[in-house]
Amino acid sequence: MNTPRLPADPLKGLSLPRYDRTQSFDWNCRRNPAPARIEEPPLPGSWTYCGLPVHSPLGIAAGPLPNGRWIRYYASLGFDVLTYKTVRSRPRTCYPMPNLQPVTVSPLGHSAAPAVSAPDMHGSWAVSFGMPSRHPDLWRADVATTRLALPKHKLLSVSVVATPSDDWTIENLAEDFARCARWAVDGGADCIEANFSCPNVTSTDGQLYRSPESAAQVAAGLRQAVGPKPLLIKIGHVDDEPSARKLCQALAPFASALVMVNCLSSRVVDQHQHPLFGGEPRGIAGEGIRDAVLTQVRLFARVIQQLGLPLKLVSVGGIGSAKDVRCHLEAGAHAVQLATAAMVDPGIGFRIRRSLASP
Ligand SMILES: Cc1cc2nc3c(=O)[nH]c(=O)nc-3n(C[C@H](O)[C@H](O)[C@H](O)COP(=O)(O)O)c2cc1C
């Protein structure tokens, strides 16, 4: 594949490789998008990600980057924190297609109405991958190679999750989370992001954020495994203050930051109200969750301030413009992550930077 050489207005007329939702996950993983040659607009001010210096608050969330090739590609497009899609201690295959089903949604977080499938993508989709993972020997080697290949000032964050069996105790779950985190750190990961919420799986690993005590137990093991490196915990939708307080108090002794929100859960139906995905809920991502995510970030920022906790916040969900980024930074996040908007438009990081760079 030829390396795209970007002209003066680097994005105009350029067709940047992007995830093809009409093809399988494996097909997309095998692709080799060449890094773009693009000069990143420098942002004024100084930025950090959980204490580590970065050139911008812009990151890619766990999801769009399943291997080092995709990580190097998005690193070349103006993103400073690259999150390796969630990995496990055992291989796991992807759910059947559709893995990304475009939907139209009522304002999520306020309504029990299901999302309705749509033929084309207009901002939101239902995400259905089930957190597939390659064999640890493969992802560990890839993490190590990728860290070496990335520019020094870009951060590699690795997202990890446990793979519980039915008879596992919370101790077993914590050990498995910690094992993956240790492997990622051994490979040179700059940060670890532990996924305590996945709306597409029904086992404990997908719902940990709902049980503050268990979440704290797992986070304690992760902290030991990660040592002094930043530990981020990704959580799901929480919209009431008492739950937010309990979760923050439980995680603050161990976590550097909370990442929120890992999609909003919703059932999905077709135009005739027939259920999709066997009637099981799926995570909705993109524009349809933007307002609910911003509300949650404001709630957590308030709670963290009231309790005087050292936790930082990273916003994710529906972010797709410089205006969104500013809103989240003002709301209390210290960095943001994009998934959907960056998959649909890989040039978005560059444009957001250009806009943030201009007064
Ligand atoms: C294609 C895709 C795959 C995802 N896979 C993961 C994953 O493996 N682990 C995870 O924590 N979140 C995963 N997510 C959730 C995103 O990290 C993010 O929380 C969510 O999509 C909301 O952000 P957005 O509105 O910018 O898409 C995935 C999202 C998408 C779109």
Q: What DSSP letter does each residue of 55-99 carry, written as one string?
A: S-SEEEPSSS--SHHHHHHHHTTT-SEEEEEEE-SS-BPPPPSPS
SS3 of 248, please? Answer: helix
**pLDDT tens profile 40-97:** 999 999 999 999 999 999 999 999 999 999 999 999 999 999 999 999 999 999 999 9
pTM score of the predicted model: 0.96
- Is 120 a domain residue? no
**Ligand 1 mean position, distance from CA 63 (Å):** 5
The stretch 198-217 carries a mean pLDDT of 81
Q: Does the structure show a pLDDT above 60 at 305?
A: yes
Question: Which residues are CB-neighbours of 332 under 8 A, at least 6 positions away?
Answer: 297, 298, 300, 301, 302, 304, 305, 313
Question: Is the residue at 99 inside a domain?
Answer: no
The predicted structure's pLDDT at residue 149: 97
Determine the atom of ligand 1 nearest the C-alpha atom of 61.
17
C-alpha torsion 100→106→337→260, nearest 10: -110
Q: Output the average pLDDT for the chain.
A: 94
User: Cβ contacts of residue 278 below 8 Å, gap of 6+?
Assistant: none
What number does the ligand 1 atom closest to the CA of 287 have?
25
Taking the centre of ligand 1 as the mean of its atom positions, its distance from the CA of residue 263, in whole angstroms, is 7
Whether residue 35 is contained in a domain is answered as no
User: What CATH number does the domain containing 62 carry?
Assistant: 3.20.20.70
Residue 351, C-beta contacts closer than 8 angstroms, at least 6 positions apart: 11, 322
Q: 294 CB less than 6 Å from ligand 1?
A: no
Question: Residue 200's pLDDT is what?
Answer: 64
8 A C-beta contact, residue 342 and residue 62: no
> Which residues contact residue 87 at a Cβ distance below 8 angstroms, ignoring those fewer than 6 apart?
133, 134, 136, 139, 158, 159, 160, 161, 180, 184
Ligand 1 pocket, residue 260 CB under 6 Å: no
Per-residue pLDDT band at 241 (split at 50, 70, 90): very high
Please report whether residue 78 resides in a domain: yes
pLDDT at residue 203 is higher than 90: no
Ligand 1 centroid to residue 295 C-alpha, Å: 19
Q: How confident is the model at residue 7 (pLDDT cuts 50, 70, 90)?
A: very low
Q: What is the pLDDT of residue 108?
A: 57
Residue 304 lies in a domain: yes
Element (H, E) at 220: helix 212-226
Q: What is the pLDDT of residue 202?
A: 60
Q: Is the CB of 316 under 6 A from ligand 1?
A: yes
Q: Given this model, what pLDDT does residue 3 score?
A: 56
Say which DSSP state 346 is in: T
Q: Across-strand partners of 60?
A: 82, 338
Percent of the chain past pLDDT 70, that is, above it, reads: 94
Residue 30 within any structural domain of the chain = no
Instruction: Say which residue, 38 or 257, is predicted with more confidence.
Output: 257
pLDDT in tens, 264-276: 999 999 999 999 9
Residue with CA closest to ligand 1 atom 6: 63
Across the range 178-206, mean pLDDT stands at 88
pLDDT in the model for residue 14: 82
What is the DSSP secondary structure assignment for residue 314, as one 8-state letter? Answer: E
Distance 85 CA to ligand 1 centre (A): 9
Ligand 1 atom showing the smallest separation from residue 99 Cα: 1
Residue 129 Cβ contacting ligand 1 at under 6 Å: yes
Predicted pLDDT of residue 304: 98
What is the reported pLDDT for 89? 98
pLDDT tens per residue across span 111-127 = 678 999 999 999 999 99
Q: Predicted confidence band at 106 (pLDDT cuts at 50, 70, 90)? A: confident
CA atoms within 13 A of residue 315's CA, in its CB half-sphere: 33
Residue 6 has pLDDT above 60, yes or no: no
Among protein residues, the one whose CA lies closest to atom 23 of ligand 1:
317
Q: Decide: 263 in ligand 1 pocket, CB within 6 A.
A: yes
pLDDT tens digits, residue range 57-72?
999 999 999 999 999 9
DSSP annotation of 274: P
Is 256 contained in some domain? yes
Whole-angstrom distance, CA of residue 170 vs CA of residue 164? 9
Judged by DSSP in three states, 239 sits in coil
pLDDT at 246 over 90: yes
pLDDT in tens, 309-328: 999 999 999 999 999 999 99
- At residue 109, the pLDDT reads 56
CA–CA distances in Å: residue 130 to residues 21, 23, 28, 29, 276: 15, 16, 16, 15, 15
Strand, helix or coil at 278? helix
Q: Number of folded domains in the chain?
A: 1
Q: b/e per residue, 109-136, with b = 16+ CB within 10 A?
A: beeeebbbbbeebebbbbbbbbbbbbeb
Please report the pLDDT score of residue 332 as a whole number: 98
Reported confidence tier of residue 32, pLDDT bands at 50, 70, 90? very high
Q: In what order do the strands lie in the sheet with 282-286?
A: 264-266, 282-286, 124-127, 100-104, 115-117, 268-269
Q: Give the burial class of 55: count Cβ atoms within 10 A of its Cβ; 0-12 exposed, 13-18 middle, 19 or more buried.
A: middle
- Give residue 10's pLDDT band: very low, low, confident or very high (50, 70, 90): confident
Q: Is the CB of 232 under 6 A from ligand 1?
A: no
Looking at residue 12, what is its pLDDT?
Answer: 75
User: Which range marks the domain in which residue 235 is found?
Assistant: 41-91+150-262+284-357
Pocket test for ligand 1, best of 94, 265, 316 (most atoms within 8 A of CB): 316
Tell whether 347 is covered by a domain.
Answer: yes
